[in-house]
Amino acid sequence: MKRIKRIWRRIKRTFIVLFIAQLLYIVALKWINPPITITQLVSLIEEHGLEKEYVSLGQMSVNAGLAVIAAEDQLFPDHNGFDWKSIQKALDYNQRKPGRVRGGSTISQQTAKNVFLWQGRSWIRKGLETYFTFMIEKIWGKKRILEVYLNVAETGKGIFGIEKAAQTYFGKSAKDLSQSQAAAIAAALPNPKKYSVKPMSAYVSARSKKIVQQMNFLRPDRDIQAIIGGK
């Protein structure tokens, strides 16, 4: 019985230490960039390579942030990390067509997954994603979430972040990305290993044109402008 109590105390202490450690890590990442993510490690293990270069939101063209908001999460300035209507639509779609999978993740959820977790669709991962999404919304705020997302998102085989994507595909820095170039990078985000920006696949070409239309529609929005740094 004493042995069981000792084991239980150790488990509790370990849990408390891990909880404090992850909380401190979340707080630290409000100001420092993630050194490496699980997805980036996997890219190295699978021999896809790892190319990344972190830049601040101010060092990116406003088109970069606007493009991913237009493509991935148009309600990003307004929700608390979760777009419940999109999530419910995705669940309904997946029930009707179990052979296909549609996601309803916000930029906040994708950032939480990319920084703290692994790729996959298990309920454990989804539960952890919910926790980390809640925490970064409370601690980081929208600007930092968007900045981190644009720096850690996989944008091609072994390529991570908007800066490396801009350099690789267009031979320029992220701060110089045009509207159509930013839209092309955003168009590939659902599956950057499958959808090619250069040479541009038919999917990316078609989707990027729709993203540009949405960018033009969303650009005057004051809440979006406050996040992406436009005037």
State the pLDDT at residue 31.
95
Position 108, amino acid: S
Whose tokens are 């091609």? That residue is: 156
The burial of 90, by beta-carbon neighbours within 10 Å (0-12 exposed, 13-18 middle, 19 or more buried), is given as middle
Sheet holding 51-52, edge to edge: 51-52, 159-160, 154-156
Task: Determine whether 113 is exposed, middle or buried from the number of CB atoms within 10 Å of its CB (0-12, 13-18, 19+).
Answer: buried
Query: What is the predicted pLDDT for the residue at 2?
Result: 73
41, 162, 222 from 49: Cα distances, Å:
9, 16, 39
Give kind and range of the element (H or E) at residue 229.
none
Is 155 in a helix, a strand, or coil? strand
Question: Residue with structure tokens 């996601």?
Answer: 103
Give me the architecture of the 33-228 domain, per CATH.
Answer: Orthogonal Bundle (1.10)
- CA geometry: angle 120, 126, 129, nearest 5 deg: 105
Phi, psi (degrees; rounded to nearest 5) at 154: -75, 125
Q: Which residues of 144-162 are buried (b: 16+ CB within 10 A; e: fewer)?
A: bbbbbbbbbbbbbebbbbb
Q: What is the pLDDT of residue 93?
A: 39
Question: Distance (Å, rounded) from C-alpha 110 to C-alpha 106?
Answer: 6
CA-to-CA distance for 129 and 124, rounded, in angstroms? Answer: 9
pLDDT at 89: 53
The pTM for the full model equals 0.88
Mean pLDDT by 10 residues, the chain (231 residues): 80 90 96 94 91 94 96 93 64 43 76 91 88 96 96 95 96 96 96 91 95 96 89 48
Q: Which helix (H) or strand (E) holds 77?
A: none
Say how far apart CA 11 and CA 5 lie, in whole Å: 10
Q: Where are the domains of the chain?
A: 33-228
Q: What is the pLDDT of residue 116?
A: 95
